[in-house]
Structures are given as C-alpha cells and as structure tokens.
Amino acid sequence: MATPGFLVPDWPVPARVRAAVTTRRGGVSRGPFADFNLGTHVGDDAATVADNRARLATALGLPAAPAWLEQVHGTAVAVLPRKTPGAADAAVTFSPGEVCAVLVADCLPVFLASRAGDRVGIAHTGWRGLAGGVVEATVAALDCDPRMLVAWLGPAIGPHAFEVGDEVREAFVARDGGAAAAFREGRDGRWHADLPALARRRLAVLGVGDVLGDSPCTYSDPERYFSYRRDGATGRMAALAWLA
C-alpha cells in the first residue's frame, strides 16, 4: 500500500515547529474520493476516512489526534487546547502536542509560526474567509508582534482557474483598493482571482514580511490534489501544524 504523500513547508522556523499538508495520494478511499480523503462530510465511507486518518497520524508521527474543526468559511479561530474546537476556520496553539488542522480542496491553507518556535497556527482561507478577515484574526490570536511571524502558503486553486463574479472582487477592493491587482478580467464580466496574492497582501499589511510557499494549483493537478471547483464530488486534504 502506498505511503501517504505530504508537502512540508520550507521556512525559517525552529525544528520544534512541525507542519505538513497532505496530497490525495496514499490512502484507501475509492471513486471520487481516491485515495487519501480526510474529510468526513463529503460522502465517503466513514470507516474508510477513519482508516485514512489513522494512516495520517502514523505517517506524520502526530503527538495527538488533530483538532478537526467545523469549517464554515468564517473568521473564528480555535485556540487549542479546547475540548470541542467547534465552528472555526483557523486554529492556533502555544502548547506542545496540540495539532491544529484544517481541511482544504482549493481553499488556501495559510501556515503561521513564530521565529521563536513558541506558537503556531493555520487558517483555512477561501475567498469569503479571506475577505472577512480570517488571516487577521489568526495573526491576532497568535498574540505576538506580526514581524516575528513567518507564513507559508500551501496548495490552492490558481488564478487561471478561480473565476469569480463582481461581488467577490468588490469584497476585497472595497477594503483595499490595491487588491484590484490580484484580479484579471475574464469572459462575460467575470474575474480571475489570485487567492495567494490576496493573502500575501493581507499578511503584508499586518506586518508579516516573511511569506513563503509557491502555492501549487490544486485545480491543475488532478493526480496530486483534490479540487472542489474541478470535480464537485471529491475528497479533502489536511493541512496540519503543531509544536513538538
């Protein structure tokens, strides 16, 4: 059986900061969820997802079960440890052994860690959460000088594939006129939005100057990544961060 696939951030933080984002390779799911689906809400068999999650914990040597969130494309941040993380689209922790996790399949996972290695967090940023302020909320929850944070941007839908309407562009431009540079005019009055570029703008305004990661496109690589925009019925990848 194949070993689960992962991307590991290459970022200048202490070794005790651990982080990874899965690919779709190396699990036991079938059909549109093949192979390594980690989402329980997409229609996959529950026992199969449990098997995949067990493989995830073993492959990464996780110190505890991830604190899976009820993601709602909002801005709430779960500060771990918390017995029931509940509805939130980001998580942070200052405690070793607590595993922050978000599920993605086109939305951008934004990893954040302090240069001192004493705090880590991750945000699930679709356009609604990003426009609403989930990145700002996550940075605030980390409770340190933003200049002391490092960010890494994981896989997400690329700008050539992420077509949106006027309301999406307006949600960003109304708050930041410079965000217009992250939108390219498409056909029939639609726009192509650059989600990683929009996240970088928000991080820069906050003072997070060290932002890494090339955000490979989930939509364009069906062999490696799940993509909701591409496939509709599909699995979910997990982005995880913790302190050893």
pLDDT band at 85 (very low <50, low <70, confident <90, very high): confident
Q: Which CATH number is associated with domain 6-160+213-243?
A: 3.60.140.10
Does the pLDDT of residue 1 top 60, yes or no?
A: no
Per-residue pLDDT, 130: 98
Which H helix or E strand runs over 102? strand 100-104
Q: What percentage of residues in the chain have a pLDDT greater than 70? A: 99
Closest CA to 124 of 108, 100, 140, 141: 108
The amino acid that residue 228 corresponds to is Y
Q: What mean pLDDT is predicted for residues 210-220? A: 97
pLDDT for residue 86 is more than 90 = no
Work out the pLDDT band at 26, boundaries 50, 70, 90: very high
Model pLDDT, residue 166: 97
Instruction: Give tens-digit pLDDT for 141-168.
Output: 999 999 999 999 999 999 999 999 999 9
172 bridge partner residues: none
pTM score, whole prediction: 0.97
